[in-house]
Amino acid sequence: MKTMVFFLSFLAFNAIAYVASTSRELRYHNAVKDEYAQLAHDSGLRKVEWQARRDTAPCPRFKQHCQSYVEHYERQQKEDADVSRKAQEKADLISLDIVKRRKLKDNKEHKQLIEQVQERPPKGNIGHKRTRSYR
């Protein structure tokens, strides 16, 4: 008896763990997307700061130094935006998979209900007898 209860609880736990893992993955990819979007935004702000320093710099050597930082932060911004976009695409795929599985489950339940209704014999029409108040 204990073995059977353990086995059934183990199966239920596996089903719950699978659903939880997909939603956990979705939360993870959304968090990665948000984090890298913030990093891309920060890199964009730093790039603008170094552009302003470059524009106001009196020395050409310092202008070259500022330009190298501008290029670095521009490259960093593009890379972070790419990672954020890829994480968003992965999160979209996971959410579509979750929705598809839910629709499939709902469709299966709907078909089962239709089959149950079709299998039942029709009930007699005993609830519609006329009483004296209708005469």
| pLDDT tens digits, one per residue of 76-86 | 999 999 988 88
Q: Which of 8, 31, 29 shows the shortest CA–CA distance to 91?
A: 29
**In this predicted structure, what is the pLDDT of residue 79?**
92
Please report whether residue 127 resides in a domain: no
Does residue 122 sit within a domain? no
Domain assignment of residue 65, yes or no: yes
Can you tell me which residue has the tokens 């009930």? Answer: 123
What distance in Å separates the CA atoms of residue 98 and residue 105, rounded to the nearest whole number? Answer: 11
Give the structural domain span for 29. 22-97
* Number of domains composing the chain: 1
Instruction: Flag whether 105 is in a domain.
Output: no
Measured in whole angstroms, how far is the alpha carbon of residue 21 from the centre of its chain? 12
C-alpha span between 72 and 65 (Å, rounded): 11
Q: Does residue 130 sit within a domain? A: no
The answer as to whether 72 is a domain residue is yes
For every residue of 36-103, DSSP letters joined together read: HHHHHHHHHHHHHHHHHHHHH-SSHHHHHHHHHHHHHHHHHHHHHHHHHHHHHHHHHHHHHHHHHHHH
**pLDDT tens track for 31-41:** 888 888 888 99
Output the pLDDT for position 99.
80
